[in-house]
Structure 1
Amino acid sequence: MAAIIEEGEIEKLRSEIDALRRELADKEAVLRYLEQKTEKKQTRYLTPEGPHIAKGIMNQKINFDELIVPSTSARTLVDDVKDAISHFGDKEFTVAHVEAALKKLGVIDIDADADAGRATRARISSILAKLYEAKELDRPFAGKGNVPHRYKNIEKGKNGQIELDL
């Protein structure tokens, strides 16, 4: 009976086995990646305070536990920044505060290397500057050099209009 099996059938069986092995290897790689991400998220701690934050606002605590986890729909960093700063209320904040909030929300990878961190902070800074130019944020303090700009949400009325104190 073994002599009746053709060489083409054996080769077809080998190719099917190879395809299944590749598929299994891909799934194992995804599993390893997800397990590593889960372990890293469980062992990392968030410390938003640091020497780079202006001393004048260190006494204002921002509660990062009240942040709402964003939905999984397609979102941009601008949307995520707007969501994060909406939770700061009337407190002043810097780029470092927004970055810490985005890390807490899982928008930014905690384990990103230093170059990626600088690029992310630059993007956040650019977004905050554009929101300031669009009059969506107030900048009570314009920093220079190593001193960061401090931003503050503009208070809005019940109907979403900006309240002006005249």
Structure 2
Amino acid sequence: MYIYPYSMSEKLLDWFNIDFDRIYNEQGGMQREQLKLINKYSILTDAKSNAYITIKRLEKSSNKANIDFAANVKNTMVGTLSSEITKTLATSEYADEIIIEWQPSSAEEERATHALHYGQRMTIKQAEKLGLGVEYNCQCGMKLISGQQYAQPIINKINRGKS
């Protein structure tokens, strides 16, 4: 079983029908219909909070007219959800039993520090501490070597939008 938290996050947000072009409401917040969608999924709680922080930060910019709010909010929510996926696995009851093999990044520019770990096997806890799925724009993946029976129910729960 392979898990790519970043692309999984993008797919989940698409599956949950989050429309980033309709999320920002020009008044420093989010459109009500998008908030209703986001609030249906507990896994998006932190992503929503971080999206608000991003919106507030962008609102204060002297270059506000030239900012793509949708792209910024999307990047924030994808990154937060990606991190949440990895952290949920790394803090699970059987995290020490989940052994992964670090997979190469799908990003255009890989992180040299992450490339050093490609092919290495470690617990999900160790991988999370080294930044897998939690550092900004990390698009590395993981191959589950052992502990799939512990990881699969967690992934299933996340896919249903639950944290």
TM normalised by structure 1 equals 0.23
Relative contact order, higher structure (CA 8 A, sep 6+): 2
Larger-gyration structure (1/2) = 1
